[in-house]
């Protein structure tokens, strides 16, 4: 399916504030970028690099005052998520070298403390997809989706204790529990078509039987229509804006719509 995704953000800084943004999606295995725009006003010199996870990162300094950033992309992505109810856990010694880092605990996913909890939830299920799905479903049923229950310092333990959170917290709980079972898990941020209310979204992926599978504990059932902005160990790695100074988001609009079929796909731009 073809999605038109994007967001329009206005930030305000008291004084010049360096930021690193992760707002440009990349084509990869999961999606193809047909088009994309990335504009901001006022204009400031901006550079871009690829981080260790393969994400495109934009560096700029927001000047004192307001700055508006608008990004938009048309992305070809899967309608239907791949599911594999019988896929087995990959043995640790079989994992690709670059997947190993997703077994390690991280800022918001202290998986080193989670094993007994994970076994309570998923121990009765077969190692691999069934365990991860059991964890995902448990979160969906037992953690309440509620704004204001968490902030930028809430980790998976806090959310398990508090019993509520938002998409990022759901993902952190999932990642922490899954990693504790020696299954690699990573954070994904991006867009989900049909999300209510529409916003930037977060979910997680787990490496099972030789590939990444998508899991989203905020949803009752597997659901395609996703466009990825960035991958990381947890939210610390994939903030859509990391600001190194005070910065206020004064306005933000997000969309993830079915892209209209172009009358003429090869039309010269006006």
21: its two tokens: 């943004």
116 lies in the site for a copy of itself, by CB under 8 A: no
Identify the residue among 14, 15, 27, 249 touching a copy of itself (CB under 8 A).
27
Q: Position of tokens 């004192």?
A: 64
The minimum distance between CB 128 and a copy of itself, in angstroms, equals: 15
The minimum distance between CB 245 and a copy of itself, in angstroms, equals: 8
The residues near 140 (Cβ < 8 Å, ≥ 6 apart) are 170, 217, 218, 219, 220
Cis peptide before 230 (omega within 30 of 0): no
Identify the residue among 85, 86, 221, 266 touching a copy of itself (CB under 8 A).
266
78 lies in the site for a copy of itself, by CB under 8 A: no
47 lies in the site for a copy of itself, by CB under 8 A: yes
Backbone phi, psi, residue 183, to 5°: -110, 120
The minimum distance between CB 239 and a copy of itself, in angstroms, equals: 9
Which region holds residue 194: left if phi is over 0, alpha if psi is between -120 and 50, else beta?
left
| Gap between the Cα atoms of 216 and 8, Å rounded | 24
The minimum distance between CB 103 and a copy of itself, in angstroms, equals: 7
- Please list every residue from 186 through 225 that binds a copy of itself, using CB under 8 A: none
Residue-level length of the chain: 270
Identify the residue among 15, 39, 116, 251 touching a copy of itself (CB under 8 A).
39
123 lies in the site for a copy of itself, by CB under 8 A: no
113 lies in the site for a copy of itself, by CB under 8 A: yes
Closest by CA to 81, choosing from 131, 135, 8, 31, is 31
């Amino acid at each position: 399916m073809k999605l038109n995704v994007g967001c329009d953000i206005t930030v305000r800084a008291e004084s010049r504030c360096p930021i690193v943004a992760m707002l440009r999606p990349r084509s990869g295995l999961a999606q193809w970028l047909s088009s994309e725009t990335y504009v901001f006003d006022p204009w400031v010199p901006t550079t871009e690099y690829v981080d260790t996870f393969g994400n495109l990162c934009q560096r700029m300094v927001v000047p004192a005052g307001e700055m508006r950033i608008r990004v938009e992309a048309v992305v070809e992505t899967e309608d239907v998520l791949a599911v594999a109810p019988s896929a087995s856990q990959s043995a640790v010694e079989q994992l690709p070298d670059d997947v190993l880092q997703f077994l390690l605990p991280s800022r918001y996913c202290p998986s080193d403390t989670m094993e007994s909890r994970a076994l309570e939830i998923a121990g009765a299920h077969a190692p691999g997809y069934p365990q991860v799905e059991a964890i995902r479903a448990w979160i969906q049923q037992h953690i309440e989706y509620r704004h204001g229950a968490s902030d930028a310092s809430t980790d998976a333990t806090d959310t398990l204790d508090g019993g509520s959170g938002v998409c990022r917290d759901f993902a952190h709980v999932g990642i922490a529990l899954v990693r504790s079972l020696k299954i690699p898990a990573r954070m994904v941020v991006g867009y989900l078509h049909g999300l209510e209310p529409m916003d930037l979204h977060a979910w997680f992926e787990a490496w099972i039987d030789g590939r990444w599978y998508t899991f989203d504990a905020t949803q009752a059932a597997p659901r395609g229509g996703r466009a990825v902005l960035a991958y990381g160990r947890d939210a610390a790695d994939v903030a859509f804006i990391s600001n190194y100074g005070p910065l206020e988001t004064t306005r933000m609009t997000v969309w993830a719509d079915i892209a209209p079929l172009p009358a003429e796909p090869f039309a010269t731009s006006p």
